[in-house]
Amino acid sequence: MERAAEDPQLWQDPESAQVKMKRLARLRQEVEGWRGLRQRIVDVIELAELGDESLREEIKAELAAVEQELENRELATSLSGKYDADDAILSVHAGAGGTDSQDWAQMLERMYLRWCERRGFETEIFDRSPGEEAGIKSVTVAVDGEYAYGYLRAERGVHRLVRISPFDSGNRRHTSFALVEVYPQVESEAEIKIDPKDIKVDTFLSAGAGGQNVQKNETAIRIKHLPSGLVVTSQNERSQTQNRENAMRVLRAKLLDLERQKREEQLAAIKGQHVSAEWGSQIRSYVLHPYQLVKDHRTGLELSNPAAVLDGDLDELISAFLKTQTIAPS
């Protein structure tokens, strides 16, 4: 790939060249990461062989860090799906439950943004619809980072919150739901071709805070894909062109995911199993009252510190799910 990158003809097709260079950068990063880990192991062994008792705590700390990185890298090798190494598009939608569910959707948005920050992933909000009183109705975020889709697909599904509602004057316990959707970002337009005749594009005023920030021009974009009925919006950029580009990225990702769902349904029919993508069953419950618990219903993993999880500490939950996947779905 490095030899191919030196070919002067490469950039005659800029889109293809960008995809190849991005893949090359990721491979370099992966190789350099393994080499760096190997060197850390050599260094800590040499420190241990010195027999200096004053270095004992430093060695123990470095060993723990090496073991954690090794575990992370071993987990990454199981992400073998076609799009697992790619960037992701993540959407959160408030479910039934009014203001409580909209507040819950915003809590989940913060949780994922914090998780991305911890991993060094870059995020960009494409579209965000605020709730009437509090929280959000929905948000769509682009997540750029190595294996972003591979990790985040573990979060796809319905998330349930049980707590004393801060919006209930009677201090009663409420159950709220939110739906998390995750799609791989499509790097090449050739992978998902969209006929311009198949889409309807509308413009509208972006929702803002008012005052000087309110948009005077219709820069927000709504695109409907007529064959599938999918609708996407983007309104966070001040440029109509940029909002259209972002909306098309989301549409291509959703169409790719539709193809994945069709393949899974065909496989399930062959196996005689029923696959449902209905709103019904939650993948995870977060209980803040009458006790503190996060339970993943797919793996059975239970954690007693929901505050840490809601602050972005998701790695244990994601790892447990990925370890149950013998073959990562494409």
Confidence of residue 273 (pLDDT cuts 50, 70, 90): very low
pLDDT at 277: 37
How distant, in Å, are the alpha carbons of 234, 235, 258, 276 from that of 199?
15, 18, 16, 28
Name the burial class of residue 68, with classes exposed (0-12), middle (13-18) and buried (19+) by CB atoms within 10 angstroms of its CB: exposed
Of 122, 154, 161, 118, nearest in space to 287 by CA:
161
Mean pLDDT (the chain, rounded): 86
d(CA 302, CA 309): 11
Task: Look at residue 86 and tell me whether its pLDDT is greater than 80.
Answer: yes
Q: Quick: pLDDT tens for 114-154.
A: 999 999 999 999 999 998 889 999 999 999 988 899 999 99
pLDDT at 270: 54
Between CA 132 and CA 278, with CA 236 as vertex, the angle to 5 degrees is: 60
Sketch out the chain's domains with CATH numbers: 2-77 (no CATH), 88-185+281-323 (3.30.70.1660), 196-271 (3.30.160.20)
